[in-house]
Structure formats: structure tokens, C-alpha cells
Amino acid sequence: MSDSTSSTTGAISASERAQIQRANVSGLHPVVFVHGLWLLPGSWQRWAEAFEEAGYIALMPEWPDDPASVAEANANPDVMAGKTVGQVVDHISHVISQLERKPAVIGHSFGGLLAQIIAGRGRSAVTVAIDPAPFRGVLPLPLSALRAAWPVLGNPSNRNRAVPLTFEQFRYAFANAVSDDEAQQLYVNYAVPAPGAPLFQAAIANVNPWTEAQVDTDNHERGPLLIISGEKDNTVPWSIANASFRQQQANPGLTEIVEIANRGHSLTIDHGWREVADTALAFVRRFAVPDSHESAYLFHDDEVDRRVLA
């Protein structure tokens, strides 16, 4: 039996339908950005613009019932409660199924886990998982990760709630590698309550054979995968990211990992976001050439100017 509390997949929203239509008529390679806990799709806005400048077409799908803005999410947190890994990944997969071209998929945190699940289903041409949440088979549990998740895991009732972070909790879990002023700005501009269920699912994934927090790492159609790790990330430190990489290495597809120095879990939204985006873009461009006249994805092994860790 699944650990999901509901099998309902959220309907594609009007915003998502508009993004799908725009992508399909563009003739460009789509890139799907998947957000994680405590953030909304808009957290990817600068990334979307950067990738479109590079010749791609961007989509930022929602988790089911995501509010339209940070203010709305903080005013009405209950709409996000109870969402499970299975519900969210099925919704994102449904959005992807409407695309005429197989997309690149980029996810952060729990979005990085979702991106790997999607890749394991053979639905992405190339995948980038940034500080990805752990899946079944990833065993390390550093104290920093437990502390970052404790605002949710510390109360079993939070499984069916949407849980906000205090500024101090956000500072530790996300913004530990930036100044206090920037941390305050990030908290105001981006932080929203998050469903507790995915954290509980990940926490017990290694003792639940039916967990939704698992990845098919053997699928030959997974495609190339890059894992990006922030050196100073408290929530998903190197030991977790590298354990995910080790699990994925068994796949016949190319698997790489890179660590970016002096970066915490806010690496996709803070002042250094462009370095991370450029790292992801360099990997995507190796396997999904941004040329609307190409009729198929081109695969090659160009060198990239970054430190690849094995």
C-alpha cells in the first residue's frame, strides 16, 4: 500500500495550460523548473528568463493548489496542507505529458527529488537536481539535516498541515551562507508554508518499501543527470547529495555531481543564483541543444568548465 494520503492529481491550472501552449508553439526545447518546500514557482523566475535568453522555453509548474503569490500563501496556508510526494510528482508528470517535446527538468530540494523521480520514469531528456531531498536507499542523516527538518518532524500532527518557518528556522535551513540582511530579504520575498507530508515520507522512506519517495535509478531511459550540491547546505549537505549520486551511478546514463563553494540551501534564489544557473545551463546544453530547427535531441560529451566530483 502506498504512503500517499490521497491519489488525487491536481488539475492543470490556467497558468500551466498557457505555459504548455506557449512551449508547444515555440518549437524550442522546454525546460521544466520544479520548486521544493517553502517556495513557490515564482522562485524560478530569474532562472526562466536566463534559460529563455539562452534559447530554451521555460515552464514553472505548480504543486497542486499552490497560491499565486507569497502573500496569498502566507494568508491561506491550509490550501497547501496534505500534499504528498506522489500527488505532486504525478501532477508535474501530467504537465510534462502535454508537451510535444521531451523537456529538460531542473528541481531544487524536494523539487530535486521530484525531478529524479520524473527522470526515473523516462520523462526527461536531461535532469538537474539541486540539493535534492533524499530518496529510498539514501542512508546518511546528518544532524544539520535533522535540525533543518525538525520544525516539521518534531510534531507528528504536522504531517497533515502546512507548516511555516520562523525567520530563525529559515536562516538555518536556507539562508545560513548569506548576510543577515539578505536572509531577511529572502524570507520576506520567498518563504511560504509547506506541506509536512513529504518530509515525513522522506524520513521513513528506508523502512517503507512502498514509499512514494523512491526513484527508479535503473531505467535505461533516465537520461543524463547532474546533481548540484551547495558546500554549506545544512538541509541537504554533501553526504546526502553524494549518496544520491552513488545510487544514481548504477544507471547506464551519464551521472555527474558538482559542489559549488560557499553556498547554502538558498543557492537558487540568493545573490549567487546565476553561478548555479550557469552550471545547470552548461549541463543541459550538452544534451539538449537550444536550436528550434533541430528535430531531435543531440547527445555529445563536450567539456565544461566546472569541477566534476566522482
Among 159, 192, 168, which Cα is nearest to 84's? 159
pLDDT at 10 over 80: no
Spatial separation of the C-alpha atoms in residues 91 and 80, rounded to whole Å: 14
pLDDT digits (tens, 9 = 90+) for 155-208: 999 999 999 999 999 999 999 999 999 999 999 999 999 999 999 999 999 999
Burial of 107 (0-12, 13-18, 19+ CB in 10 A): buried
SS3 content of the chain, % helix, strand, coil (to 5): 40, 10, 45
Q: What is the pLDDT of residues 99-121, one digit of tens each?
A: 999 999 999 999 999 999 999 99
pLDDT at 99: 98
- The cell numbers describing 60, all together, are 514553472
Q: Which three cell numbers stand for residue 12?
A: 492543470
Grid cell, residue 245, equals 549520486
Q: What is the pLDDT of residue 282?
A: 98
Q: What are the extents of the domains in the chain? A: 14-287
Q: Which three cell numbers stand for residue 198?
A: 513529504
pLDDT, tens only, 260-278: 999 999 999 999 999 999 9
Residue 3's pLDDT is what? 53
Owner of C-alpha cell 524570507 = 187
Task: Show the beta-strand stretches assigned E in 152-210.
Answer: 162-163, 194-195
Check: CB of residue 258 under 8 Å from CB of residue 288.
no
- Whether 127 contacts 96, CB under 8 Å: no
pLDDT at residue 289, as a whole number: 83
pLDDT at position 310 is 30
Contacts of 61 (CB under 8 A, 6+ apart): 16, 19, 32, 33, 34, 41, 91, 92, 95
Query: Looking at this protein, which amino acid is placed at residue 232?
Result: K
The pLDDT value given to residue 241: 98
> What's phi and psi for 141, nearest 5 deg?
-140, 80
- Mean pLDDT for the chain overall: 92
Counting Cβ atoms within 10 Å, is residue 30 exposed (0-12), middle (13-18) or buried (19+)?
A: buried
| pLDDT band for position 9 (cuts 50, 70, 90) | low
For the cut 60, the answer to whether the pLDDT of residue 2 exceeds it is: no
Sign, Cα dihedral of 67, 111, 95, 18: positive
CATH architecture for the domain at 14-287: 3-Layer(aba) Sandwich (3.40)
> In this predicted model, which residue has the larger pLDDT, 67 or 2?
67
Decide which of 10 and 134 is more confident: 134
Q: 100 with 202: CB under 8 angstroms?
A: no
Q: Per residue in 283-308, pLDDT tens?
A: 999 998 886 444 333 333 333 333 33
